[in-house]
């Protein structure tokens, strides 16, 4: 991969506090503890850019990480995790307002990456999230995490089963492990395919 740099450029606690639109953005969503921070660190090539949480779901901010590869910049937007236990209704409402407010009106947003622990079954939360993105025309990628936890045969079975369940093409469901450092380049490839789609299908008619 070409020369790469990464840094935190903004945080936002509410939609009013969003940074000015600039480089294209990719949103990262996932259940708390799914491995989102670890994966973001690998994508950025920085060990501790996003904080790997000992207490799941503690931060309720959007974090904007700018990753520059060669001449191109992209913002990886870390959305607060969902599904944490025992939070008040107020907190849930605040989460929803922040996340939906960002996803619904963010002009530079190009795609959402749903982070899913390979060993967990898909819940209504994930199904709802993907349906919600689809309804708004936001392309989705699923990054399956912690793939090192399963032996290769079992892992391949899970990837196939989850792809079917998510109803996404194989190129949009990527098996990764932040710990074993695999799947990271493939995930970048899936992201790049959405950031820089080839123009047309090869037919360029000129009048
Ligand atoms: P987040 O809450 O979604 O940001 O998840 P974290 O990145 O904080 O990770 C949650 C827990 O899963 C931590 O204990 C991590 O060390 C562990 N974890 C994350 N990625 C991997 C992985 O690829 N393999 C394994 N075995 N554990 C991981």
Provide the CATH number for the domain around residue 92.
3.40.50.300
DSSP 107: T
Sign of torsion, CA 104 110 113 114? positive
Q: Is residue 164 part of a domain?
A: yes
Structure-token pair, residue 135: 């309804």
d(CA 143, ligand 1 centre) in Å: 13
Rounded Cα gap, residues 162 and 144, in angstroms: 9
Q: Show Cβ contacts of residue 104 under 8 Å, excluding neighbours closer than 6 positions.
A: 136
d(CA 201, ligand 1 centre) in Å: 39
- Per residue in 90-134, pLDDT (tens digit) is 888 888 899 999 999 999 999 999 999 999 999 998 999 999 999
Mean pLDDT on 72-81: 94
Domain that holds residue 58: 4-195
Q: Is residue 201 part of a domain?
A: no
Ligand 1, atom nearest to 32 Cα: 2
DSSP 52: P
Q: Is residue 200 part of a domain?
A: no
d(CA 160, ligand 1 centre) in Å: 22
Q: Is residue 207 part of a domain?
A: no
d(CA 205, ligand 1 centre) in Å: 49
Structure-token pair, residue 47: 């060990």
CA nearest ligand 1 atom 10, residue:
33
Q: Is residue 203 part of a domain?
A: no
Mean pLDDT of the chain: 89
Q: Percent of the chain beyond pLDDT 70? A: 89
* Mutation pick for ligand 1 pocket among 44, 49, 51, 52 (CB with most ligand atoms within 8 Å): 52
| Residue recorded with tokens 């990054």 | 143
User: Which residues are registered as beta bridge partners of 29?
Assistant: 114
Q: Is residue 9 part of a domain?
A: yes
SS3 141: strand
Residue 158: CB within 6 Å of ligand 1?
A: no
Q: Is the pLDDT of residue 55 over 70?
A: no
- Per residue in 150-191, pLDDT (tens digit) is 999 999 999 999 999 999 998 999 999 999 999 999 999 999
Ligand 1, atom nearest to 180 Cα: 23
Q: Is residue 33 part of a domain?
A: yes
Residue 56: CB within 6 Å of ligand 1?
A: yes
Rounded Cα gap, residues 156 and 186, in angstroms: 16
CA nearest ligand 1 atom 9, residue:
35
pTM tops 0.85, yes or no: yes
Sign of torsion, CA 134 43 201 163? negative
- In the chain, the number of structural domains is 1
pLDDT range class, residue 201, cuts 50, 70, 90: very low
- β-pairing verdict for 25-30 and 72-78: parallel
CA nearest ligand 1 atom 12, residue:
35
Q: Is 179 left (phi over 0), alpha (psi -120 to 50) or beta?
A: alpha
Q: Is residue 40 part of a domain?
A: yes
CA nearest ligand 1 atom 21, residue:
146
């Amino acid at each position: 991969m070409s020369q790469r740099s990464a840094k935190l450029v903004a945080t936002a606690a509410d939609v009013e506090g969003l940074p000015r639109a600039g480089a294209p953005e990719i949103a990262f969503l996932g259940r708390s503890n799914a491995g989102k921070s670890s994966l973001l660190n690998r994508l950025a090539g920085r060990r501790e850019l996003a904080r790997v949480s000992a207490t799941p779901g503690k931060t309720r901010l959007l974090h904007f990480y700018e990753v520059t590869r060669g001449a191109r910049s992209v913002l990886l937007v870390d959305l607060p995790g969902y599904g944490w236990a025992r939070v008040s209704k107020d907190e849930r409402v605040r989460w929803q307002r922040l996340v939906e407010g960002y996803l619904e009106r963010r002009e530079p947003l190009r795609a959402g990456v749903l982070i899913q622990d390979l060993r967990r079954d898909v819940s209504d939360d994930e199904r709802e999230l993907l349906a919600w993105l689809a309804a708004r025309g936001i392309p989705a990628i699923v990054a399956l995490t912690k793939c090192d936890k399963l032996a290769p045969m079992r892992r391949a079975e899970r990837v196939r089963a989850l792809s079917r369940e998510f109803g996404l093409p194989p190129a949009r469901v990527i098996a990764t492990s932040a710990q074993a450092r695999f799947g990271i380049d493939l995930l970048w490839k899936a992201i790049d395919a959405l950031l820089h789609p080839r123009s047309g299908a090869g037919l360029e008619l000129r009048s």
